[in-house]
Amino acid sequence: MNQKLIFTNLVGKAIDDLVDELGNPATYVIVDVNTAQYVLPTLTEQTHAVQNAHVITIKAGDVNKNLDSVQTVWKALHDAGATRNSVIINVGGGVVTDLGGFAAATFKRGIQVINVPTTLLGAVDASVGGKTGINFNGYKNEIGSFTEPLASIISTAFFVTLSQQELLSGYAEMLKHGLLENREELDTLLAYSVVYPIFDPERLLELLRRSVAVKQRIVEQDFTETGLRKALNLGHTIGHAFESLALRRQSPIPHGYAVAWGCVVSLVLSHLKLGFPSDVLHKFAQYVRTNYNAFDFSCDDYPALIEFMRHDKKNMTQDEIAFTLLADVGDPRVNTVVEPDDIRSALDIYRDLMGI
Amino acid sequence: MNQKLIFTNLVGKAIDDLVDELGNPATYVIVDVNTAQYVLPTLTEQTHAVQNAHVITIKAGDVNKNLDSVQTVWKALHDAGATRNSVIINVGGGVVTDLGGFAAATFKRGIQVINVPTTLLGAVDASVGGKTGINFNGYKNEIGSFTEPLASIISTAFFVTLSQQELLSGYAEMLKHGLLENREELDTLLAYSVVYPIFDPERLLELLRRSVAVKQRIVEQDFTETGLRKALNLGHTIGHAFESLALRRQSPIPHGYAVAWGCVVSLVLSHLKLGFPSDVLHKFAQYVRTNYNAFDFSCDDYPALIEFMRHDKKNMTQDEIAFTLLADVGDPRVNTVVEPDDIRSALDIYRDLMGI
C-alpha cells in the first residue's frame, strides 16, 4: 500500500500539510449536498486548500452513484481547468469517495486524490483498499477501479452530525474486523458503545486506527481480491441476502445492520461447521441484539434467503453457496461451502438467539 | 512493465497459449466493424480461444471512441456473464485497443486484456505504455487510465489489408523512435520502405520489435508521463497544429503524416536551437518528402499554427511554447521553450526543404 493514512481530528491542518507537500497545486473539492451543508463550512474555515478550491457538488445517495454524476464531475473538472497535476479532495461518505475516486482515477488517465471520509462506515471501510466505483445498469459497483488515493484523513470530528443509526452501521464493520483479529480486540469493541453516552471522539479514533489496521493487513496481502481479501466478506453474503429480502418487502435496512446480523448467522455456521467457540458466539449475539435489535423473518422466508445467497457475486460457482467462516476469532476460512440444510439450521438458531 | 510483448506472425497460437496458461477462462473478443470483416474470420479459424469467445462489435472510427460505445461494451460483458476471471481480447486498431482497454480496466474494477493490434500504428504506438481512453465532451482521450494489458501480440500478418496511407502513417512513429534511439537505427529505417515493393512482413516484424523496444525503455523510466516520457512527443506538438489547421480547412490529414512533417520542423528547430547535425536533418527531410509529400501552407498560416501550438495540452503553461527537441539523434531535450520568432524561421526552412 502506498497511500498515507492519517488519523487526526485536526483535519484542516492535515489537508494543508499534504497540499503543501505537493507544491500547492490547484485543488478541487467534491462533496454531496449533505456534506456541502454540514461539513464544508467548517473545513473552509480551517483549511487554505479548501478555501481556494473549486467545489463540485453532487447529489446525495447511492441512487446517484452513477455515470450521470461521474459525467457531471468530469465536465466540471474540465471546465474549471483541472490538469494532471491537480488534486481532488473528496469530502463525504462512501458515495462521494467511491464516485469521486472513480472520476479522479479516469480523468486525464488519473489525478491525485485526498479522501476525507465523513461517516464512520466510510472511515472504517472505504478509506483502505483502493476500491472506487459506481453502480451501472442496475448493478452495484459494476464499474470502477482499484486506485489508491494519495492519502485518507481519518477523523471522528464530523461524526457529531451523524445519526445513531449511521454510527451503529459503521461500527458493525469494526465488529467484523474484531472477529477477524483476536479475542482481545473483539472484547474491547464489545465493551464499547459507539452511541451516546459512551461515545468519545478520541477513544473512537484510537479504536478506528486499530480497526483500519486489520483491514490494511488483509488488503496488502491480496490487493485485487483473489483470495484472502474475501475474509473481509465475513457476514456479507448473509447480510446481502437480508438486504435483498428487506428491499423486496420495500423496507430497506442499513448495510451495517445487515452485516451485524449476517455476522451472527456466520458465527452460528462457524460453530456448526468449524467448532467456533459457543461462548464468543453468545456474547457477540447478545451485543448485536442489544444494539441493533434483530432482522425479523420466519421459516417461510428461508427459500428466498437461500436463493439470494446462491446469487451472491462473490460465489465461485452458482451451484454451491460459499461463505467466509471462522474456525476461531482471528482464524478465517474463505470459500467454505455450506449445504442448504446447514443454512436452515443456522437461521433457526439465529432466530432463537435474537428472540424472534 | 509487467505486460508480455509477443512478436510473432503465428497469432492464433500465441493467443491460445496465453489463454491456456490462464486456465482457459471465458474469453470476450472486441472488434470494430472493419476487423470483424477482415481479421476475425482468419483468427477464428486459427484460434480456439477466439472460436469459443463471445464477440462484441463496436462502430469503427475515432468519432465512436466515446462513452456510448464503452457502455455498449460494459452491457454486453455483463449480459454475457463476464466475471473478473474472464479475459478480453481486443482485435483492432487504436480505437479498439484504447476503448476496449478502458472498458476492461473499469468493468468490475478491472479484468485481464490481450491486445492484438491490427494496424502498424497500433502495433508500434498503442501496444506499449498502458494508455487506455476515450474522447469525452469534445476532447481527445480526456477519460482513460494507465492500465497495462496482460499481453500484446504484435504481428505484421494483418497488414496486407492496410492501405499504403495506413502503413506510412504507422511508420512515421517508427521513424520518430529511430530519431530517439541512435544513428544506426535511424539509417536502417531510412533505408527501408514500408510500402510495396520493399515491404516484407518478417523484416518489418524485426524492425517493429526494435522500435517497440525504444518506446518500452522510455515508458519504463516514466510510466505516468511526468518527464522523460515526453520525449515520445517528438514532432507531435507541431504535428497536432498541422492536424488542427487541416481540420479547420475541412481536409483532415492522417496522424502519422502530421507526425512525420512535425518531426521535420522539430529537427529544424533542433538545428537552430541545439545544433542538431544538418546532414541528418537533410536526409530525414528528403525521406519524408519522398514518401509523405508535404503539408502545404503559407506564411499567412503561421499565426494560426503558433496559436494551436500554444494550446497543446502537453505545454506546462499557456504563456510559453515548449517542444521536445534533439541535441543529436538519441539525445532528446524535453520541455525546450522556443520563441515564436524561431518557430516562424523553422516553418520557413521546412517549406524550403519540402519544396512548397
The CA distance from A66 to the nearest CA of chain B, in Å, is 12
Facing B110 at nearest CB: one of A106, A142, A145: A145
Within an 8 Å CB–CB cutoff, is residue A282 touching chain B?
no
Q: Alpha-carbon distance A174 to A159, whole Å?
A: 15
pLDDT at residue A161, rounded to an integer: 84
pLDDT at residue B198, rounded to an integer: 67
Helix (H, G, I), strand (E, B) or coil at A162: coil
Angle between helical axes of B164-181 and B255-274 (0-180°, round to 10): 30
Within an 8 Å CB–CB cutoff, is residue A72 touching chain B?
no
Facing B146 at nearest CB: one of A110, A131, A144: A110
Residue B10 phi/psi, 5° resolution?
Answer: -100, 70
Within an 8 Å CB–CB cutoff, is residue A144 touching chain B?
yes
Supply angle C-alpha B333, B337, B338, rounded to 5: 110
**Binning pLDDT at 50, 70 and 90, where does residue B182 land?**
very high
Within an 8 Å CB–CB cutoff, is residue B2 touching chain A?
no
Interface confidence: ipTM more than 0.90: no
Tens digits of residue pLDDT in A240-278: 999 999 989 999 999 999 999 999 999 999 999 999 999
Q: Alpha-carbon distance B240 to B262, whole Å?
A: 8
Pairing of strands B4-7, B151-154: parallel
Evaluate if residue A222 carries a pLDDT over 80: no
pLDDT at residue A315, rounded to an integer: 64
pLDDT at residue B237, rounded to an integer: 93
Tens digits of residue pLDDT in A282-331: 999 999 999 999 999 999 999 999 999 988 766 656 678 999 999 999 99
Give bridge partners of residue A92 from the DSSP assignment. A117
**Binning pLDDT at 50, 70 and 90, where does residue B2 land?**
confident
B67 contacts on A by Cβ (under 8 Å): 67, 71
Q: Alpha-carbon distance A10 to A16, whole Å?
A: 10
pLDDT at residue B1, rounded to an integer: 63
Within an 8 Å CB–CB cutoff, is residue A71 touching chain B?
yes
pLDDT at residue A138, rounded to an integer: 86
Tens digits of residue pLDDT in A52-99: 999 999 999 989 999 999 999 999 999 999 998 999 999 999 999 999
Facing B145 at nearest CB: one of A133, A141, A145: A145
Least confident of A178-187, A308-317, B16-25, B46-55: A308-317
Contact A192, A207 (CB under 8 A): yes
Pairing of strands A321-328, A331-338: antiparallel
**Binning pLDDT at 50, 70 and 90, where does residue A34 land?**
very high
In angstroms, what CA-CA distances link A72 with A51, A245, A254, B258, B341? 22, 33, 28, 34, 41
In angstroms, what CA-CA distances link A140 with A72, A144, A312, A321? 19, 10, 12, 20
The CA distance from B226 to the nearest CA of chain A, in Å, is 9
Tens digits of residue pLDDT in A92-121: 999 999 999 999 999 999 999 999 999 999
Residue of A141, A143, A150 to mutate, interface with B, max B Cβ within 10 Å: A143
Within an 8 Å CB–CB cutoff, is residue B131 touching chain A?
yes
Tens digits of residue pLDDT in A170-205: 999 999 999 999 999 999 999 998 887 667 889 999
H helices present in chain B, as ranges: 11-21, 33-38, 40-46, 48-51, 67-79, 94-106, 120-121, 164-181, 183-190, 201-221, 236-248, 255-274, 278-292, 302-310, 340-354
Q: Alpha-carbon distance B72 to A98, whole Å?
A: 23
Evaluate if residue B204 carries a pLDDT over 70: yes
Contact B98, B65 (CB under 8 A): yes
Tens digits of residue pLDDT in B272-295: 999 999 999 999 999 999 999 999
Within an 8 Å CB–CB cutoff, is residue B223 touching chain A?
no
Residue A307 phi/psi, 5° resolution?
Answer: -65, -40
Q: Which residue of B has its CA nearest to A112?
A: B224
Tens digits of residue pLDDT in A268-281: 999 999 999 999 99
The CA distance from B110 to the nearest CA of chain A, in Å, is 6
pLDDT at residue A199, rounded to an integer: 72
| Mean per-residue pLDDT, B291-303 | 95
Report the greatest alpha carbon distance in chain A: 62
Tens digits of residue pLDDT in A5-30: 999 999 999 999 999 999 999 999 99
Q: Where are the beta strands (DSSP E) in A64-150?
A: 87-92, 112-117, 131-136, 139-146
Within an 8 Å CB–CB cutoff, is residue B133 touching chain A?
yes
pLDDT at residue B319, rounded to an integer: 74
- Integer-rounded Cα Rg, in Å, for chain A is 20
pLDDT at residue A223, rounded to an integer: 64
* Torsion (CA) A287, A290, A295, A296 in degrees, nearest 10: 130
* Stretch (H or E) spanning B145: strand B139-146
Position of cell 473549486? Answer: A54
Helix (H, G, I), strand (E, B) or coil at B153: strand
Evaluate if residue A332 carries a pLDDT over 70: yes
Within an 8 Å CB–CB cutoff, is residue A67 touching chain B?
yes
